[in-house]
Chains A and B, each alone.
Chain A
Amino acid sequence: MNQMAKPLRGLSAFSLPPLLWLGGSLALLLLAATVFAPLLSSTGAYMPSAAVLESPSWAHPLGTDSIGRDIMARVFIGLRSSFLIVGTSAALAVALGGVIGMLAAYFGGPVDWVMMRLVDIFLAVPTLLLAVAVLAAMGPSAIALTVVLVATFIPHASRVVRVAALQVTAQDYVASARVSGIPWYVIVGKHILPNVRGIVFVQMAVTMSYMLVIESSLSFLGLGVPPPAPSIGYIIAEGRQWMEIAPWPIISASSVIVLLILATTFIGQGLDQHWGNGNRVRRA
């Protein structure tokens, strides 16, 4: 409990777990690449050219695709859209799930029961398949993708935050705040939220790593951001047709998405080691 309540400023550069260093720098590096790599491309991600299915060269460091577009620009713009969609969705899912979890823990009783039964239902269904079904019906778009991702991951976040918030709610200072007549929203905001903050950050990173898998899988199936906008999954799906003669799109897109998922996983584990409860801490 005390571990978890360690304040943010405990995160000085010297006390960071190595995993957090590794994951953090990897994520920053990839983030920088999504900003700068497309700028280095002479033709950009959308302009077709006569240079079709070329091998990596100085002009096109990762080669070109079947209609002559620059793979490097496409891969990193695709990674950027993954970053944006997954970052937004994870923040929304954890924020909404966190509020639900804290309220369920604070009020207990029937409120808790109803909320957790709803969560159970969501956790008992295959995530990817239902996302596929809903997106197939709604038609693929960045908004639909975000809505589906947020809806899918609210239950996970609310369950994790609820467990942490239950421990806080049981503390004497919450009881004394209650009897002092402090309104519930102040108690939840001022006493419970600061004490589950660590868990919230861990959950945010973990959610991002899961969401990246789902987002790229959906875009692989053609249910992500609609073309011509590049997405990691779509680049890999498109590249399959020509992979014997031009494997670069598949290899480069696969590498960056796996590295990003790895980075968010490391950040999650690193934060967990820093804040998490002792018995969950394990080596990578």
Chain B
Amino acid sequence: MRYLLTRLAGLPLTLVAVSLLTFGILFLVPGDTVDVLAGESIDDPVVKARIAAELGLDRPFLVQYADWVWRAAQGDLGISTSSQRPVADLIWARLGVTVQLAVLGTLISVLIGVAAGFLALRFRGRLIDRLIMTWAAVGMSIPSFVSATLIVLGISIMLPSLGVVSYVPFSRDPLGSMASLMFPALSLAIVSGAMFCRYVQGAGDDIFRNADYVRTARAKGAGERRVLARHVMPNAILPLVTVAGLQFAQLLGGSVIVETIFSLPGAGRLIITAIGERDYPVIQGGVLVITLSYVLLNLLVDMIYPLVDPRIRVGGSAGRS
């Protein structure tokens, strides 16, 4: 309980840091902030002063920041300089794809990871175990832009008739939409599935070696299969609740890469496109929304875990330092 309170107390501090950093992006841009927001270099000082006043840039930094936060809290993230549309609308229209991809990516990763981890534990010390764990070690070392690019390359060489499937909106055809995200999700799952597999195998191996209940089960005459299925796996999978939650948040943040490669109309690609167009309100808004989702998800996962694993509740804050 104390741990959760500490965790919650840290939230406002994190929110301030995140918003300050996101707002501050604008001031990291080389050159005059008025020029940056106007999208062109303005020479006439009178015009410049007028625009600065219009945009509120003549006020002190902290006032501007407070104003920005106040508007953002009300859902007003400013106006895109390239499309002249409200940033919040642009992001809202694309966030669904990003979330959908992260959900699908996490699901496939968990399936692959648990299945591979189970096989590795079932054939402990044998060739299958070695092969799976080698894949897991290599898989974790593949950046997602590499796995995604190689999948696109593989499709274009082996299944040229397929082409790269274009995204089908979820509202029009839920199943078709999920199918159109299969390859992007798979490119994420190669990496995070490997990580899940290592967690399951690592935890399972530890339980096999050290847990008293495994010894008890064996002493009562349970076969290896029963020990694995009934006693080891349930406990080895438990930590995945946290890991999968954190990974989901990670995939939201990593959406910039995979969405760009598969040309998906998501929030990550919106940010990358905005970088090319020097559309700073969109960059700020996109980064703020995704980062906030990430922070809140992390918090949520930490709060859920004690419900799943009662040992944490007893242990209090011992788990983290």
Give A residues with C-beta under 8 Å from B.
117, 120-121, 124-130, 132-134, 136-139, 162-163, 166, 209, 212-213, 216-217, 220-221, 223, 233, 236, 240, 243-244, 247, 250-251, 254, 257-258, 261-262, 265-266, 282-284
Contacts and interface: CB of A to CB of B under 8 A. Distances in A.
Contacts of B143: 212-213, 216-217, 220, 257-258, 261
A262 B149 contact: no
- The bracket for how many chain B residues form the interface is 35 or more
A126 B153 contact: no
23 contacts: A120-B10, A124-B298, A125-B14, A125-B17, A126-B253, A126-B254, A127-B253, A132-B256, A132-B271, A133-B21, A133-B271, A136-B25, A137-B25, A209-B141, A213-B143, A216-B145, A221-B257, A240-B149, A240-B152, A244-B156, A261-B143, A262-B137, A283-B133
Interface in B269-321: 271-272, 275, 280, 283-284, 287, 290-291, 294-295, 298, 321
Contacts of B250: 126
Interface stretch (B26-34, B216-224, B227-235): B26-34
A138 B278 CA distance: 12
B260 interface: yes
B10 A217 contact: no
A136 B253 CA distance: 16
A251 B260 CA distance: 19
A266 B137 CA distance: 9
B141 A126 contact: no
Contact of A258 (B134, B141, B156, B272): B141
A223 to B, nearest CB: 8
Contacts of A137: 25-26, 28-29, 280, 283
State the 9 A-B residue pairs at the shortest beta-carbon distance, nearest first. A126-B253, A137-B28, A261-B141, A136-B275, A262-B141, A129-B253, A133-B287, A213-B143, A137-B25
Interface in B142-200: 142-146, 149-150, 152-153, 156-157, 160
Interface in B12-42: 13-14, 17-18, 21-22, 25-26, 28-30
A1 B13 CA distance: 35
Given A258-B138, A265-B140, A284-B134, A217 B145 contact: yes
B28 A134 contact: yes
A216 to B, nearest CB: 6
Given A126-B250, A134-B25, A117 B146 contact: no
Interface of B is mostly: helix
Contacts of B294: 124-126, 129
Given A129-B253, A133-B283, A244-B157, A166 B321 contact: yes
B88 interface: no
B260 to A, nearest CB: 7
Interface of B: 10, 13-14, 17-18, 21-22, 25-26, 28-30, 133-134, 137-138, 140-146, 149-150, 152-153, 156-157, 160, 202, 205, 249-250, 252-254, 256-257, 260-261, 271-272, 275, 280, 283-284, 287, 290-291, 294-295, 298, 321
Given A130-B291, A166-B321, A138 B149 contact: no
Contacts of A125: 14, 17-18, 21, 291, 294-295
Contacts of A266: 137
Interface of A is mostly: helix
Contact of A138 (B28, B257, B321): B28
A117 B13 contact: yes
B146 to A, nearest CB: 5
Nearest to A135: B275
A213 B271 CA distance: 20
A250 B321 contact: no
Contacts of B150: 250, 254
Nearest to B142: A258
Contacts of B284: 133
A125 B133 CA distance: 30
Contacts of B137: 262, 265-266, 284
Contacts of B17: 121, 125
Contacts of B298: 124
Given A126-B250, A221-B260, A254 B30 contact: no
A121 B290 CA distance: 16
Nearest to B198: A282
Nearest to A264: B141
